[in-house]
Amino acid sequence: MQILDGIKLSKEIKNEIKSLVESYKEQGKRAPHLGAILVGNDGASRTYVDNKIKDCKFVGFESSELILEDTISQEELIAKIQEWNNDANLDGFIVQLPLPKHIDQEAVINAIDPNKDVDGFHPMNFGKMALEMETFLPATPYGIMEMLERYEVPTAGKHTVVIGRSRIVGRPMSILMSKNGNPGNSTVTITHSKTEDLAKYTKEADIVITALGVPEFLKADMVKDGVVIVDVGITRVDDPTSPKGFKLAGDVDFENVKEKASWITPVPGGVGPMTRAMLLKNTLLAYNRNNK
């Protein structure tokens, strides 16, 4: 069994980006610039945004942060987005999800200029991804593709089972694994909460990608020997022994499943750090498009 080490790999990627940014600056160019909009003060969202800003500092990007009250109206939020759409100094930005219930998430995503949508959530970018055109890929599936590529995990001709069909993980993941390229060329089965006898599919899978958010859902008796496991799930579960009072749990019963796996991602330290690094790669793509 080999670990797909997202911490090690994301550090390598961030160092590559850092060197590139240094070379841009040596050539007298400005640094790439990423923005983040946070609505409200949800603890997890705050941490995600803080980490994104920290990553920008590490690689030498400029960053901007806009923290808005959770009472802001949808119209006011969209007006802020328009301002950032029109800001020539900003290469790309994200609106941290989830948003307060009174705000229509679709309307907000649609308001972002697709050329600045470094989360890759805008329908235009999603469509381009599905058509295998160059675009911003959603960061989590992008990070998994990068991980499979850099660890040289074979995917062509393999049967990949994805559990979960969300717009940010499961569905784009299934599209990317079926694309004509490497990684990709997998035969993909996408499963969800209405799938009957899910284990029937996972038992036959060469690669299982879990993105459902149910701690330790995937058990050892649901997979075959030699399976590749990518665990996207991150759920906070109570842990009185931890200073924070919780720990992060994946969707996979790691201790038992690892005995059968050829490759496996840990949680934490697998997909999460890769997701962070891919947002930087998307920002770099936006910057390079702007500086052609």
Residues that bind ligand NAP (CB under 6 A): 140, 163-166, 168-170, 191-195, 198, 211-214, 232-235, 271-272, 275
Does 166 appear as a known binding residue?
yes
Rounded least distance, CB 37 to ligand NAP, Å? 18
Please identify, using beta-carbon distances, which residue of 79 and 199 lies nearer to ligand NAP: 199
Query: Looking at this protein, which amino acid is placed at residue 85?
Result: N
Residue number, 101 or 292, with CB nearest to ligand NAP: 101
Element (H, E) at 150: helix 139-150
Cα separation values, 6 from 46, 110, 148, 271, Å: 22, 31, 11, 6
Question: Minimum Å distance from CB 281 to ligand NAP?
Answer: 14
Per the annotation, does 245 bind a ligand?
no
- What are the residue numbers of the active site? 52, 96, 119
Q: Least distance (Å) from ligand NAP to the CB of residue 245?
A: 18
Shortest Cβ distance from residue 88 to ligand NAP (Å)?
30
Determine the Cα–Cα distance for residues 3 and 100; give it in Å rounded to an integer: 37
Nearer Cβ to ligand NAP (94/271):
271
Give the residue among 216, 219, 181 at the shortest CA–CA distance from 203: 219
Closest by CA to 209, choosing from 248, 162, 279, 153, is 162
Q: Is 163 annotated as a binding residue?
A: no
**Cβ distance to ligand NAP smaller for residue 74 or 195:** 195
Q: Cis link prior to 183 (omega < 30° from 0)?
A: yes
- How far is the C-alpha of 238 from the C-alpha of 215, rounded, in Å? 12
Question: Is 72 known to sit in a ligand binding site?
Answer: no
Binding residues for NADP(+): 164-166, 234
Binding residues: 164-166, 234
